[in-house]
Structure formats: structure tokens, C-alpha cells
Amino acid sequence: MIDSLVTWAEHYKISGFRFDLMGHHMLTNMTEALAAVQAVDPDTYFYGEGWNFGEVANNARGENAIQANMAGTGIGSFNDRLRDAVRGGGPFDSEDGIRANQGFSNGLFTNPNNLSSGAQSEKDALLQRSDWIRVGIAGSLADYRFIAFDGIEKTGGEIDYNGQNAGYTADPQEIINYVSKHDNQTLWDNNQYKAPYAATVMERAQMQVVGLSIPILSQGIPFLHMGSELLRSKSMERDSYDSGDWFNEVDFSYQASAWNRGLPRQDKDGANWPLILRVIEGAGSNANPNPGSIAYTNDQVQELLTARANSPLFRLQTAEDVQQRLQFLNTGPAQTPGLIAYRLLDDGSNGLSDLDAGNDELVVLINGSNSTQTLSTSYTGSYTVAADTSPSNGAGASNGEFTVPALSVAVFSK
């Protein structure tokens, strides 16, 4: 394997390698391979799936390349913690359990569907999952400290994710933040499973943008599934690797999606057919992307990508920088549910080096709720809107108050 990797790097100039089921490799195999390839090209990046399961679970056959063992290697692994919090539930949910398990971006507690209620238990779940998102925004660093939903200061490694540590990296480059990829339902299809039937097609597009904004505006490596900015659908199919273009087509004319082309294959999704039929009937045309909603989503994703590209504060290189410059707002038990807010510092008066010549500070608000939110702070000075994904362009800042419309994202620059 190492010989092949070196050949690809040296003779074909391949500069990045993704490892399927990376956790089934021994950790030493991965680190030795990376060293060999970086001897050819020092900028080579390795990343993969560090899932802890099967015959290698919990280092049953030695120290494997699973998430818990990757800190300090410089090798990235996919962030299922952030993914599950944004999407809701988990990849192995089925039947009505899919719809019942809403996430941050599609209505958990703040906009319940017919199988949810907005109960206190759902609020508690949203606050817990918001901490999973915060850990991901902080590069999933094990040692990053912030105030958790219970009001106690904790490290990322102390935040529980289904019995595992939510934070486990030593360096922001060791995390791949994502909300969809080729495995499982596309982000659009996942949101159709979970969104309230009454949500309009534009509100559903806004949910898509809110979901995509989180990896885009996080520390670490953002990973975007092809076509997710175009409301890509696979007609609800979970596993489409050999289903052809009928389900897998991406329309780069920006006119339509592969939504509701027929029920997904019975061998993959037969148990979900009754729910899929109810979703199709209940949502009606609200679930079918149209040119306007596709254009909106694409434009807003481009705006968020531009915001990330324009400031090194979204691309901090060390754990120390993340701890010193990233400050979460709206935390603890009294937080506004459905609102992720944070501040990125760059002003020399704070004793920090100047990484961003254009900005002394950025404030980011990600509003997953279906109502306008205003966050009051003691911050002084003038803030301008650097990005605003709301259809109304309604984000604003004045006298330390930051306002973001429903299902929208705003970046403010000082």
C-alpha cells in the first residue's frame, strides 16, 4: 500500500488520499504511509473513516486508526458528532424513527414535526446536540474549553457523544466536518424526512443552508457533498452506489433535482417505504426543489465560502489559536435554543498576533430556529454584515445587539 501511495504522489501528483474504513488499518500503517508520502510531497493530506466497530472495535487487534487514536497524527477523520447533531438521529435510524429524530437544522424542539412535540426532553436534546456542534466548530479539539449546556466549563473531550468523547483531536486539521457524503441520504432527503410538512420549499432551502454553514464556518476541514449546494436528492435512497444516474444525477443546469423519481430500492429502503410515501404526500410540492430555491441555496453557499476564504480566522492552524481566539456565546442552561453564536478575535489589543488584516473581530450567528433571534452583548464598536443568508437580508448589528432572521446565518465583521 505504501509503495502504491508513493507512486501516485511522485508520478501522478496526487496530493490527498481518502481511506475508506480507515479504522481497520493499524495506526502505525497509516502514520508510516503518511511519512513516506510526505517525503515526496510535504503538503499531502490523509483522511478517512475512523469508525470504531467490528473486529477492530476498542483496539481488539492492536492500536487501530480509529477516531480515539488519531490525535497528534495530522490525519483527518470524519466528524459523526457534528453530522448527527445537525441532521438529527443517526445513520442507522429506520422507519418512523427517522422522522422522530429531528436535528438542529431541521426543527428539533424549535419547529417540531407531527412525530415530535416540542417537549422539555426535546429541548434538552437540542441543547446537548448544540454542544456537539460547538465542539465541531472548535475543530473537535479534546482540550478546547467552553461552557457546556449544563453551565459547567468542560473540555471537548469531556462532552459525551453516545458514550464516546465528542472532542478527540489535538490539531484542527485532524477533523473533517461534514453533514452529508455519498453514504446515507443526501442532506436534502434527510431534511424531507424530518421537516414539518407545512415548511415551504424556501424554508427547506434555508434549512439546507443552515446545515451546510456549520462545516463551512468551522475550524478544521470542511467537506461538502457534490450537489448539496444544489439541493441534491437521491429520491430518499440511502445507499445508491450501484443505482445508476436515475437516482444519482446532479443537475448542473440548476433547474431541478432527482426528488421523487420513484421509491428507492427495496433491498436498501423497503422498510422505509411507508414513511417515504407519507412524506411525499404530506409535504407535496414543498419538498420538490425548484429553480428559485436551488439558485438561492447555491448563492448563499457561495457567500459563506467567500466569507471563509476571506478570513484566516475561519482557518486557524493550531489548537492554541483556536482556544485563544474562538469564544462561544449563548451557552449554558439559559441559552436561546436553536442559536449557535461565537466570536473570533484578531485585535492586537487582546494580545493576539494579527492574522487578518481586514478584521479585528468576527461574530457568527447560526439560527436553526423558525423565528428571528437577537443576541445582546456588551460589545462596542461598529460591526458590518459580511454575510447574510436570509432571503430578506434582515441581519443587523447595533449597540452590541446582533439580529439574525429565522433559519439563517450571519457573519458580522468589526
Annotated catalytic sites, by residue? 20, 49
Instruction: Phi first, then psi: give them for residue 388, nearest 5 degrees.
Output: -150, 110
254: phi then psi, degrees, rounded to nearest 5: 65, 30
Distances (CA, A) of 195 to 6, 207, 234, 286, 347: 46, 9, 17, 10, 41
- Alpha-carbon torsion, ordered 78, 84, 85, 86, to 10 deg: 80
Q: Which candidate, 30, 37, 35, places its Cα nearest to that of 65?
A: 30
Per the CB < 8 A criterion, the answer to whether 324 and 139 are in contact is no
Sign of CA dihedral 68, 72, 73, 79: positive
Q: Cα–Cα distances in Å, from 370 out to 57, 106, 199, 332, 404?
A: 40, 9, 10, 21, 11
Helix 201-216 vs helix 120-137: angle between axes, to the nearest 10 degrees?
40
**Cβ atoms within 10 Å of 315's Cβ, excluding its own:** 16
Grid cell 488499518 is found at 25
Residue type, 340: I
Other beta carbons within 10 angstroms of residue 327's beta carbon come to 15
Phi-psi region of 196 (alpha: psi -120 to 50; beta: other; left: phi over 0): beta
What is the Cα–Cα distance from 171 to 165, expressed in whole angstroms? Answer: 16
Q: Which of these, 68, 69, 77, 304, lies nearest to 176 by C-alpha position?
A: 77
Return the H-helix or E-strand segment holding 259.
Answer: none
